[in-house]
């Protein structure tokens, strides 16, 4: 059995733990003990999953498939960014400067540059289906990088900026976790899922689902009363959400409380 296949089997196994911990945290009372512990387990499981992904990448290189390995690194970068946003936004919620430090800026720049590079590869793909798949992934990464750049401009524009970032990070994780599990685990049972057009459809479907989930979560947890609102940042027809605040309303509330 090849290094790639061994890593793939481990990837699917760990991915099951990732999926279980994600939904445990999602369904638990927000901020409660179960939510926090499941969140930590999710972060640890994702770290293990990304380790397996790097081993898979090494296996691709050994098998002479350097282009696929390069693309695998890009997908891993998206996952690293989303997990880091989800975790650090809570860890540094009282210090936006630390949250938006060099790690954040470096990840934003790396994802934007890599996204442009991947997008440039789309026309060189052997067929239209693979070109569409590569384009979808490129747009996803570029949209996330654009949302991160927008946060660098807005900074702490609302007392709950960190919650908006956390929800955005988990929205991306929602798409990444389910798309990966659907494609990798599903294709081992249903060979039709290996077809490029089918994979593209799965990816786009989960991206759209993540957009809907993020919109719902924003209304549910950021509140519909105007203290913050959701802004859709679009790039190439795909949207990743960022939070846009209305500080004048918060200021009015403080004044009325006095």
Is residue 84 within 8 Å of 29, Cβ to Cβ? no
Is residue 32 within 8 Å of 63, Cβ to Cβ? no
Query: Using CA atoms, how far apart are residues 201 and 196, in angstroms rounded to an integer?
Result: 9
- DSSP lists the bridge partners of residue 228 as 245
Give the percent of the chain with pLDDT over 70. 74
pLDDT band at 153 (very low <50, low <70, confident <90, very high): very high
Query: Using CA atoms, how far apart are residues 180 and 203, in angstroms rounded to an integer?
Result: 8
Both structure tokens of 80: 């690293």
Query: Using CA atoms, how far apart are residues 11 and 92, in angstroms rounded to an integer?
Result: 30
Residue that is written with structure tokens 């239209």 in the block: 128
Work out the number of other CB atoms within 10 angstroms of the CB of residue 90: 17
Q: What is the average per-residue pLDDT within 132-148?
A: 89
Give the percent of the chain with pLDDT over 90. 18
Dihedral sign from CA coordinates of 130, 82, 80, 106? positive
Query: Using CA atoms, how far apart are residues 39 and 35, in angstroms rounded to an integer?
Result: 6
Per residue in 155-167, pLDDT (tens digit) is 988 888 998 898 8
pLDDT above 80 (res 136)? yes
Q: 115 versus 251: which is more confidently predicted?
A: 115
Per residue in 46-96, pLDDT (tens digit) is 787 777 777 777 767 676 767 777 877 888 888 889 889 988 998 899 999
Domain ranges of the chain: 65-257
pLDDT band at 9 (very low <50, low <70, confident <90, very high): low
Query: Using CA atoms, how far apart are residues 57 and 49, in angstroms rounded to an integer?
Result: 12
**pLDDT at site 22:** 75
pLDDT band at 12 (very low <50, low <70, confident <90, very high): low
């Amino acid at each position: 059995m090849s290094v790639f296949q061994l890593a793939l089997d481990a990837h699917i196994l760990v991915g099951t733990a990732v999926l279980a911990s994600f939904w445990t945290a999602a369904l638990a009372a927000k901020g409660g003990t179960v939510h926090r512990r499941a969140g930590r387990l999710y972060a640890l499981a994702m770290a293990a999953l990304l380790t397996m992904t790097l081993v898979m990448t090494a296996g691709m290189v050994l098998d002479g498939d350097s282009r696929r390995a390069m693309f695998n690194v890009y997908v891993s970068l998206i996952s690293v960014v989303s997990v880091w946003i989800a975790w650090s936004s809570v860890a540094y919620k009282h210090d936006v400067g630390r949250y938006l430090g060099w790690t954040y800026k470096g990840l934003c720049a790396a994802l934007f540059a890599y996204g442009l590079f991947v997008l440039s590869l789309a026309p060189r793909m052997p067929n239209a289906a693979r070109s569409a798949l590569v384009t979808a992934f490129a747009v996803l990464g570029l949209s996330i990088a654009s949302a991160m750049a927008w946060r660098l401009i807005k900074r702490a524009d609302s007392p709950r900026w960190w919650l908006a970032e956390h929800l955005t990070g988990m929205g991306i994780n929602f798409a990444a976790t389910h798309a990966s599990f659907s494609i990798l685990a599903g294709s081992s049972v249903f060979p039709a899922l290996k077809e490029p057009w089918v994979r593209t459809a799965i990816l786009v479907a989960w991206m759209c689902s993540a957009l809907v989930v993020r919109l719902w979560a924003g209304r549910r947890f950021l509140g519909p009363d105007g203290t913050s609102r959701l802004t859709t940042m679009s790039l190439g027809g795909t949207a990743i959400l960022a939070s846009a605040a209305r500080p004048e309303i918060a200021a009015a509330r403080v004044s009325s409380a006095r």
